[in-house]
Amino acid sequence: MSIIIKSTIMKKVILSIAFAAIAALGVNAQTKYIARTGQATIYSHTVAEDISATNNTVTGVINSSTGDIAISVPVQSFSFEKALMQEHFNNSNFMDSKQFPKISLKGKISNLSAVNFSKDGTYEATVTGDLTIKGVAKPVTEKAHITVKDGKISVHCKFIVKDIGSYGVGKPKGKMKNNVADDIEVNYTAAYDKGDE
């Protein structure tokens, strides 16, 4: 009888440990990292002139379990050196920021196993997803560096948006028609904190 009781107790202990482990994994699986003040810079180079702008209000989310990522960029928050450039950038012929207020990137870290979110270090991630500009979504694959330190992460990536006109983005007319490049360089840097579970 005592053997049966001991066996029953052992089974309960093992089950309790198993459930605790599953629960722990479940909590870890829901870990999300959130960026609220990420920075995006854009750069256009032509013989006529160089144009650059900075945006410090980019938001982002990374799910460390699924690898899902999302980045949202408020178009009107880009700041240019010249007010006229900013006006041209936001008008209906170019970005039309009133009708299309945000640029977005949604996708996944396709090599998620190469990134250890629980260990300090810098990891190279491959991000695949859809980049949406002016309502036009196109598939992209880019490299990003993810740095893990003390439970927080930072992300940096640099890439080229090819043929900006294919997203429906117009160019200046007249004397300034050659002032904007076809390919735009983008830099994204953000610090992410753990969000609500």
Domain co-membership, 95 together with 15: no
Domain co-membership, 22 together with 51: no
Question: Which residue type does 175 have?
Answer: K
Q: In a 3-state reduction of DSSP, which class is residue 197?
A: coil
CA atoms in the 13 A half-sphere facing the CB of 68? 8
Alpha-carbon gap, residue 63 to 171, rounded angstroms = 37
Question: Which residue type does 139 have?
Answer: P
Question: Residue 29: what pLDDT?
Answer: 47
Question: Residue 11: what pLDDT?
Answer: 53
Question: Residue 2: what pLDDT?
Answer: 53
Look-up: residue for tokens 């107790």?
9
Domain co-membership, 50 together with 39: yes
Domain co-membership, 83 together with 5: no
CATH number for the domain harbouring residue 178: 2.40.128.110
Domain co-membership, 3 together with 67: no
Domain co-membership, 23 together with 81: no
Total of domains in the chain: 2
Domain co-membership, 110 together with 25: no
Determine phi and psi for 49, rounding to 5 degrees: -170, 160
Residue (of 143, 146, 142, 144) closest to 118 by Cα position = 146
Question: Residue 72: what pLDDT?
Answer: 98
Domain co-membership, 111 together with 121: yes
Residue (of 184, 152, 160) closest to 36 by Cα position = 152
> Per DSSP, which regions of 64-183 are E strands?
68-74, 79-80, 102-109, 121-133, 136-149, 152-161
From the number of C-beta atoms within 10 Å of its C-beta (0-12, 13-18, 19+), residue 76 rates as middle
Which residues of the chain have a pLDDT value below 50? Answer: 1, 6, 18-29
Question: Residue 9: what pLDDT?
Answer: 59
Domain that holds residue 1: 1-30
> How far apart, in Å, do the first and last CA atoms of the chain sit?
45
Phi-psi sector, 58: left (phi>0), alpha (psi -120 to 50), beta: beta
Domain co-membership, 118 together with 23: no
Question: Residue 173: what pLDDT?
Answer: 62
- Enter the pTM of the model: 0.81
Domain co-membership, 171 together with 158: yes
Domain co-membership, 38 together with 115: yes
Question: Residue 69: what pLDDT?
Answer: 98
Domain co-membership, 36 together with 19: no
